[in-house]
Amino acid sequence: MNGETSRPPALGFSSDNIAGASPEVAHALVKHSTGQAGPYGTDELTAQVQRKFSEIFERDVEVLLVPTGTAANGLCLSAMTPPWGNIYCHPASHINNDECGAPEFFSNGAKLMTIDGPSAKLDITRLRERTREKLGDVHTTQPACVSITQATEVGSIYTLDEIAAIGEVCKSASLGFHMDGSRFANALVSLDCSAAEMTWKAGVDALSFGATKNGVLAAEAIVLFNPSLATEMRYRRKRAGHLFSKMRFLSAQIDAYLTDDLWLRNARKANDAAQRLAQGLTGLSGVEVLGGTEANILFCRLDPAVIDALLKAGFVFYHDRWGPNIVRFVTSFATTAEDVDHLLSHVRRVVRSVHA
């Protein structure tokens, strides 16, 4: 089943959440929409999702499904942080910029402490120093947990060694370790490692396992490797209003997403599309691809006349947010080679006329 009909080339490269859902996921929703099922996650499908995650991560894990990544992040962080705690994260992180204070809200006022570093990855030496400052000082909020994003907000990826080094910092200072895996699958197929290696084997306690950006309608999974967080998390999810009474519909999406490696196949498609775009842009005069395209996000510098012409042609993307003439293109599981080639043919044409 691929369910794809021929369509005009898609013009949107602004984010991976402008894509729809995989047909397998949509079909699963319809399939599970009849008959009775236990409420609030007591159904068989939800149990099956839990088993599938335990297989994927090669150990018992506790799984709680929620509708958004913001809920997953806020709930994970709140379970590892007292109100007087510090959550260490990168200044570019989603939890710092794009969640309207949800981590602070869910944790009853914990403090986000930003640690900078290149490519939206936090600097480990600086992290180690900062998590040792003012310990036990009653006037100062205290280190509680570290949150990293994999793949990061700019599409870069922490290596396994880097994750393990952060895990070491957390372990030695008794801090929780959270991973925002909104683009977990994109990172995993790029690193070509196991899900276990990228998480608990490197010390991660709690994962926000993203699915919405990579082929489901609306569902994300909180995956807990530290079983001591599980009981509290169940109460926290309900209290936050995120325990679905018809849980089967979240589970149906995630079940289909994990079946026959759909999540990995979708992520490969997204990453391959970004690679195709990077290759096509490289070497064009007046175009500079910035950084290595490791997942499904590409940054480049374009002539302002090229940016204008692409916008006029109807292409949708963000530009000049990260610096003058800097453009971000994001691909998704639904981006085809034809979509990419169509964009490239426009870029080539405009570049030729601008630089004629």
Q: Amino acid letter at 3?
A: G
> What's the closest the beta carbon of residue 46 comes to ligand PLP, in angstroms?
20
Rank residues 75 and 327 by Cβ distance to ligand PLP and give the closer one: 75
Closest approach of Cβ 67 to ligand PLP, in Å? 8
For ligand PLP, the closer CB: 103 or 143: 103
Q: How far is the CB of 218 from ligand PLP (least distance, A)?
A: 8
Sign of CA dihedral 294, 296, 299, 302: positive
Closest CA to 80 of 148, 178, 168: 178
Measured over the CA atoms of residue 341, residue 346, residue 351 and residue 352, the dihedral's sign is positive
Angle between helices 304-312 and 337-354 (to 10 degrees): 130
Q: Of all residues in this chain, which one has the CB nearest to ligand PLP in the complex?
A: 69
Name the segment binding ligand PLP (CB under 6 A); options: 64-72, 228-236, 293-301, 311-319.
64-72
Residues 142-171 that bind ligand PLP (CB under 6 A): 149, 153
Four-point Cα dihedral 193, 57, 73, 183, nearest 10 = 30
Is residue 22 near ligand PLP by the rule CB under 6 A?
no
Q: Choose between 142 and 333: whose C-beta lies nearer to ligand PLP.
A: 333
Helix (H, G, I), strand (E, B) or coil at 62: strand
Residue 180 Cβ, how far from ligand PLP at the closest point, in Å? 5
Binding of ligand PLP by 94 (CB under 6 A):
yes
Among 14, 48, 54, 68, binds ligand PLP (CB under 6 A): 68
Write the interaction track for ligand PLP spanning residues 223-262; mark x where CB under 6 A is met and - where it is not.
----------------------------------------
Residues 6+ apart with CB under 8 A from 251: 41, 43, 45, 46, 48, 49, 65
Q: Which amino acid is at 299?
A: F
Distance CA 22, CA 191 (A): 23
> Is residue 70 a contact point for ligand PLP (CB under 6 A)?
yes
What is the CB neighbour count within 10 angstroms for residue 356?
Answer: 5
- Min dist CB 282 to ligand PLP, Å, is 25
Q: How many residues bind ligand PLP (CB under 6 A)?
A: 11
Q: Does 212 bind ligand PLP (CB under 6 A)?
A: yes
Contact with ligand PLP (CB under 6 A): which of 147, 182, 266, 296? Answer: 182
* 100 half-sphere exposure, CB direction, 13 A CA radius: 3
Q: Give, in order, the Cα–Cα distances in Å from 324 to each of 126, 184, 268, 302, 315.
A: 29, 30, 31, 9, 19
For the CB of residue 19, give the shortest distance to ligand PLP in the complex, in Å. Answer: 12
Q: How far is CA 296 from the centre of its chain?
A: 11
With 0-12 / 13-18 / 19 or more C-beta atoms within 10 angstroms meaning exposed / middle / buried, residue 350 is buried
Region from 62-70, 129-137, 296-304, 343-351 binding ligand PLP, contact rule CB under 6 A: 62-70
Which of the ranges 63-71, 199-207, 271-279, 283-291 carries the binding residues for ligand PLP, by CB under 6 A?
63-71
Q: Which is nearer to ligand PLP, 189 or 211 (CB)?
A: 211
Q: Which residues contact 21 (CB under 8 A, 6 or more apart)?
A: 215, 216, 217, 253
Using the rule CB under 6 A, is 130 a contact of ligand PLP? no
Q: How far is the CB of 183 from ligand PLP (least distance, A)?
A: 7
Half-sphere exposure of 272 (CA within 13 A, CB side): 13
Nearer to ligand PLP, 141 or 212 (CB): 212
Q: Could you list the residues that contact ligand PLP (CB under 6 A)? A: 68-70, 73, 94, 149, 153, 180, 182, 212-213
